[in-house]
């Protein structure tokens, strides 16, 4: 992924354009809903939720202050009066209790240091029986973009055993245990098989991929000559994935749905 919280910016929204449609359908935001968007980045999904919740509201939170500043600018430019944003860590932020009908997230929940505590905190912000709908990556071997990038980077791309992991919520039984411990029930998983978009051509895709944490860290571990060779392999790989409508990679994700236990 692009950074530890998520890949913020217009490029990230473009990358996940197919996933957005799937998430919107899964969320099914109703006109009067009060929505909490976890790891909202620059607020695209929050603004979409606010437009659907025209008699309700949407709050987006993210750990990136620049992303939140940009989210506010975009919402103001679109004239949305029922959306707000907070620079906050959903793992520990003191949300109003029993406030939201829906907590949603587009790849914004995989980096919690203590996922049980984080989801319990989010659950307390939901009204009893309130819904959680989040999109997370499936395992790395099921995501062509991860396999191809790491193959091009070679040995330098070996994943560190610690640190942020974009695939930390890939295993359904593990996620079910986390959510149950956090006070959720009715947990279900739906397969999402949509491609990711990396740019209009290989040059733009290379700029995008070089900003990924896994890429930049791998290149920094190499000497200048080795780094140049790895970049060349990345360029060749991205060129091989270029189509008439841009550079695309296969990907697999889960839509995870659950609801807060009434007794929690």
Q: Which tens digit of pLDDT belongs to each residue from 169-182?
A: 999 999 999 999 99
Q: pLDDT, tens digit, for every residue of 70-124?
A: 999 999 999 999 999 999 999 999 999 999 999 999 999 999 999 999 999 999 9
Q: pLDDT, tens digit, for every residue of 127-151?
A: 998 999 999 999 999 999 999 999 9
Range 210-216 average pLDDT = 89
67: its two tokens: 């992303």
Weakest mean pLDDT among 39-53, 154-168, 240-254: 154-168
Q: Does the pTM exceed 0.85?
A: yes
The pLDDT score that the predictor gives to residue 263 is: 63
Cα–Cα distances in angstroms (integers) from residue 82 to residues 59, 60, 138, 201, in the given order: 9, 11, 33, 37
Asked if pLDDT for residue 245 goes beyond 70, the answer is: yes
142-150, long-range: CB < 8 A, 24+ apart: 142/252, 143/249, 143/250, 143/251, 143/252, 144/249, 144/250, 144/251, 145/196, 145/198, 145/249, 145/250, 145/251, 146/214, 148/237, 148/241, 148/249, 149/209, 149/212, 149/214, 149/215, 149/234, 149/237, 150/214
* Ordered structural domains, the chain, with CATH: 10-139+162-198+249-260 (3.40.50.150)
- Mean per-residue pLDDT of the chain: 92
How many angstroms separate the CA atoms of 254 and 139, rounded?
Answer: 10
Asked if pLDDT for residue 4 goes beyond 50, the answer is: no
- Quickly state the pLDDT bin for 209 (edges 50, 70, 90): very high
Weakest mean pLDDT among 7-11, 64-68, 230-234: 7-11
Q: What percent of the chain has pLDDT over 90?
A: 85
Number of residues that this document lists for the chain: 264
């Amino acid at each position: 992924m692009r950074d530890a919280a998520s890949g913020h910016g217009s490029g990230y929204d473009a990358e996940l354009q197919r996933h957005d449609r799937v998430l919107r359908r899964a969320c099914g935001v109703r006109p009067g809903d009060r929505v909490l968007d976890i790891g909202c980045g620059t607020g695209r999904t929050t603004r979409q939720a606010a437009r659907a919740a025209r008699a309700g509201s949407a709050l987006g939170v993210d750990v990136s202050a620049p992303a939140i500043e940009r989210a506010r600018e975009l919402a103001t430019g679109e004239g949305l009066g029922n959306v707000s944003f907070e620079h906050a860590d959903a793992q520990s932020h003191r949300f109003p209790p029993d406030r939201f009908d829906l907590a949603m997230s587009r790849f914004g929940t995989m980096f919690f240091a203590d996922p049980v505590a984080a989801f319990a905190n989010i659950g307390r912000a939901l009204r009893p029986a309130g819904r959680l709908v989040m999109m997370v990556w499936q395992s790395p071997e099921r995501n062509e973009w991860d396999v191809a990038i790491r193959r091009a980077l070679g040995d330098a791309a070996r994943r560190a055993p610690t640190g942020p992991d974009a695939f930390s919520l890939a295993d359904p039984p593990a996620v079910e245990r986390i959510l149950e411990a956090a006070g959720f029930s009715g947990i279900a998983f739906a397969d999402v098989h949509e491609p990711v978009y990396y740019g209009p051509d290989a040059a733009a895709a290379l700029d995008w991929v070089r900003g990924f944490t896994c890429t930049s860290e791998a290149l920094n571990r190499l000497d200048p000559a080795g780094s140049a060779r790895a970049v060349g392999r990345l360029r060749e790989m991205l060129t091989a994935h270029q189509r008439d409508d841009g550079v695309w990679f296969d990907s697999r994700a889960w839509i995870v749905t659950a609801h807060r236990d009434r007794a929690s």
